[in-house]
Structure 1
C-alpha cells in the first residue's frame, strides 16, 4: 500500500485538489446531485412569484443550505433569501465566472439523500391569477356581453 508520492504533491500544487465529479458540481452550484432536495432553473428563479414547493422544502429541511446562482440579479434572489432568514436556514450565493449553470437555485444537504425528483416542473402562477392581470391580450379579447 503506497501513499501519495512526490509526483502527486507536485500535480496537486500545479492543478489544485482533485475534485470528484467536477461537471456535476458546476451544474449544481458546487454540490453533487445526490445531495439535492429541490432545484429551480434560472428562468424559474426570475419569475415574480415564489414557488411554494421551494418554501415548503426550506421549512422541512432546516439543516440544508440554499445555494443561489450569483449570475442572477439580486432582486430575484432576495425573495428566497428572506425565506431562509425567516426559517433560520443557511444560504450562499455561488458565482462561477468560468461556467454559468442553467440551475438558479439548489437546496442541498452536506450528505447524500438520493431524491429522485428534484426539479419543480410546474409554475406557481395559476390560470385565475393570470386572468386578473390586465395585459394587452386580455383587453383585446375581453368578453362582451
Structure 2
C-alpha cells in the first residue's frame, strides 16, 4: 500500500509531465509534433492572418488530426480571429494557459504524432505567400525643360 502523504504531495504538485520546459516553449506540445509555427510578431502581422486559412487548408490535406495552439500573449482580437478561422475549417484550436506566456511562438500548428517537418517556420515553408509586394516605382516625370534639352 502507498503512503497517503506521498500521494497527497504528488497530487498537490500538479500533473507529472515529460519535458515540461519543451512543452511550455512549444505552447503545450512537443517539438517533434509541430508542423508549422510563427513568432508572436509574425502572428500579429496582418499578412499572416490573411494567409492563415490557406496554410491551414494545405496542412489539413496532408496531416490528420491537425490542432492549433494560440499564445496567450497575443491580443484578444488576434486570438479570436485565429480561433474563428480555425473553427470555420472544422479544426480544433485552443488558447493555451498563461504558463506559456514567455514562449517566442504566437501560433503552433501540430498533430498528435511526430510530423518529421523541419524547419517548421511558416515563412520558410510558404515563401510565396509571404513575399513582400514591392511597389513598382513610377518612372520619374521629366520636366518640360529637361525633355526639351535632352
TM-score for both structures, normalised by structure 2: 0.71
Indicate the structure (1 or 2) with the bigger Cα radius of gyration: 2
> For 1:108 and 1:98, how far apart are their aligned partners in 2?
16
Deviates more, 1:60-69 or 1:95-104: 95-104
1:32-64, CA deviations, whole angstroms, 9 ceiling, x for partnerless residues? 111111111111100101346733224533522
Task: Tell me which residue corresponds to 1:68.
Answer: 70
Map of 1:54 onto structure 2: 55
Q: Are the equivalent residues in 2 in contact too, given 1:66–1:90 (CA < 8 A)?
A: yes
Find 1:93's aligned residue among 92, 95, 99: 95
Instruction: Give CA deviations for 1:89-144 in whole Å, capped at 9, x if unaligned.
Output: 111111315742111111111222332221223564434x3427xxxxx8xxx752
Q: CA RMSD in A?
A: 2.8
Q: Which has the higher helix share?
A: 2
Unaligned runs of 5+ in 2: 142-150
Shift of 1:10: 4.0
CA distance in 2, matches of 1:87, 1:29: 21
What is the Cα deviation at residue 70 of structure 1? 1.8
Change (3 A) 1:16 1:121: same
Provide the residue aligned with 1:44 in structure 2: 42
Gaps (5+ residues) in structure 1? 133-137
TM-score norm. by structure 1 comes to: 0.73
Paired residues in the alignment total: 133
Deviation at 1:8, TM superposition (A): 4.9
SS in structure 2 opposite 1:23? helix
